[in-house]
Structure 1
Amino acid sequence: MVLLTIDLITKSSNYLKKKRGYTFPEYLKRLTHLNFSNKNIEGIGDLSKCRNLTVLYLYDNHISQICNLGFASNLTHLYMQNNDVTRIENLHNLDKLSKLYLGGNSITVVEGLEQVRELKELHLENQKLAPGEKLLFDPRTLLSLAESLCVLNINNNRIDEIKDLAALKQLQHFSAADNKLHDMEELDFVFSNWPQLHHMDLSGNPVCQTPKYRDRLITVCKRLEDLDGKEINDLSRQFLIRWKALKEAKKKRNNTHMMTELPITSPLKHDSDMARGPRPGHIYSRTNVLQGKLQQPRSDPTRERRVRYSISQNTI
Structure 2
Amino acid sequence: MVHLTLDLIAKSKNHFKKKRGLSFPEYLHALTHLHFSSKSIEHIGDISMCRNLTVLYLDYNQITHICNLDFASNLTHLHMQNNNITHMDNLSNLHRLTKLYLGGNRIAVVEGLKKLGELKELHLENQRLAPGEKLLFDPKTLLSLAESLCVLNISSNNIDSIKDMIVLKELRDFSAADNKLHSIEELEEVLSHWPQLLQMNLSGNPVCKKAKYRDRLIVCTSLVILDGKEITELNRRFLINWKAAKEARKIKNNQHVTKTQSIPHPLTWDLSVAGEGPHLGHIHSHVKMQQLQPQSLRSATPDHRKLS
Same topology, TM > 0.5: yes
Alignment of 1:105-254 (within 5 A): 105-221=105-221, 223-254=222-253
CA distance in 2, matches of 1:47, 1:268: 94
1:55 and 2:55 correspond: yes
- Give the residue type in structure 2 aligned to 1:228: D
The change in CA–CA distance for 1:4 and 1:264 in structure 2 (over 3 A counts) is same
CA distance in 2, matches of 1:123, 1:234: 29
Deviation at 1:270, TM superposition (A): 11
String of CA shifts for 1:225-278, please: whole Å, max 9, x gaps: 11111111111111001111222233233334444445499x995999xxxxxx
The residue aligned with 1:10 is 10
CA distance in 2, matches of 1:26, 1:44: 21
CA distance in 2, matches of 1:198, 1:92: 30
CA distance in 2, matches of 1:118, 1:127: 24
SS at match of 1:18: coil
The residue aligned with 2:35 is 35
The residue aligned with 2:75 is 75
Aligned residues: 272
Unaligned runs of 5+ in 2: 274-280, 286-308
CA distance in 2, matches of 1:220, 1:250: 20
CA distance in 2, matches of 1:93, 1:253: 60
Moved more, 114-123 or 251-260: 251-260
TM-score (norm 1): 0.82
CA distance in 1, matches of 2:179, 2:187: 13
- Give the residue type in structure 2 aligned to 1:249: A
Deviation at 1:220, TM superposition (A): 1.1
Deviation at 1:115, TM superposition (A): 0.6
Larger Rg computed on CA atoms? 2
Alignment of 1:275-314 (within 5 A): none
The change in CA–CA distance for 1:271 and 1:61 in structure 2 (over 3 A counts) is farther
The change in CA–CA distance for 1:69 and 1:270 in structure 2 (over 3 A counts) is farther
CA distance in 1, matches of 2:74, 2:263: 72
- Give the residue type in structure 1 aligned to 2:96: K
CA distance in 1, matches of 2:204, 2:9: 43
The change in CA–CA distance for 1:148 and 1:264 in structure 2 (over 3 A counts) is farther
CA distance in 2, matches of 1:211, 1:86: 38
SS at match of 2:17: helix
The residue aligned with 2:295 is none
The change in CA–CA distance for 1:258 and 1:201 in structure 2 (over 3 A counts) is same
CA distance in 1, matches of 2:272, 2:53: 90
CA distance in 1, matches of 2:231, 2:120: 25
Deviation at 1:215, TM superposition (A): 0.4
CA distance in 2, matches of 1:49, 1:252: 70
The change in CA–CA distance for 1:271 and 1:45 in structure 2 (over 3 A counts) is farther
CA distance in 1, matches of 2:217, 2:147: 23
- Give the residue type in structure 1 aligned to 2:179: N
The residue aligned with 1:305 is none
Unaligned runs of 5+ in 1: 273-291, 297-316
String of CA shifts for 1:5-44, please: whole Å, max 9, x gaps: 1111111112220111101111011100000110010011
TM-score (norm 2): 0.84
CA distance in 2, matches of 1:120, 1:77: 10
Alignment of 1:77-96 (within 5 A): 77-96=77-96
Aligned identity (percent) is 66
SS at match of 1:203: coil
SS at match of 2:41: coil
CA distance in 1, matches of 2:252, 2:69: 62
The residue aligned with 2:101 is 101
CA distance in 2, matches of 1:213, 1:96: 39
